[in-house]
Amino acid sequence: MPSADRDTVDSAAVPVASAFADDPDVAGLLGFFFEVLDERQAAMLEAQKVGDLEGLKRMSHQTKGSAAGYGFPELTTIASGLEAACEGGDPAEVAGRLAEFVGYLARIDRGV
């Protein structure tokens, strides 16, 4: 009999795709969005490194606003949590939320 652990899918390993990946009007823009996300991720990691919570909060807010429009509502939720953590100012909470953000970006299927 299989164990419950083997039957559980680790959501951190499951690729995610844009809800609009099959929409030719949006799919053509996804490459641009991914480039912006890569640049933003690097800037966000740097902001955390130097303690720029205001900058990190601003970039989280920008991502929250754009992610749903490109078909990533879960990323909107994650970015919102990161924004709130920045407002709270707890470095451990910010680090955890940023790690969640980076982990989600790593799961995005960019094969559009």
SS3 call for 16? strand
pLDDT band at 105 (very low <50, low <70, confident <90, very high): very high
User: For the chain, what are the domain ranges?
Assistant: 12-107
pLDDT in tens, 4-57: 444 455 566 799 999 999 998 888 899 999 999 999 999 999 999 999 999 999
Partners of 108 in the β-ladder:
16
For residue 96, what is the enclosing H or E element? helix 91-107
Torsions phi, psi for 104 (to 5 deg): -65, -45
Instruction: Name residue 61's amino acid.
Output: H
Task: Give the residue ranges of DSSP H helices in the chain.
Answer: 4-7, 24-50, 53-67, 73-88, 91-107
Sequence-separated (6 or more) residues with CB below 8 Å from residue 29: 70
Homologous superfamily of the 12-107 domain (CATH) = HPT domain (1.20.120.160)
pLDDT in tens, 49-102: 999 999 999 999 999 999 999 999 999 999 999 999 999 999 999 999 999 999
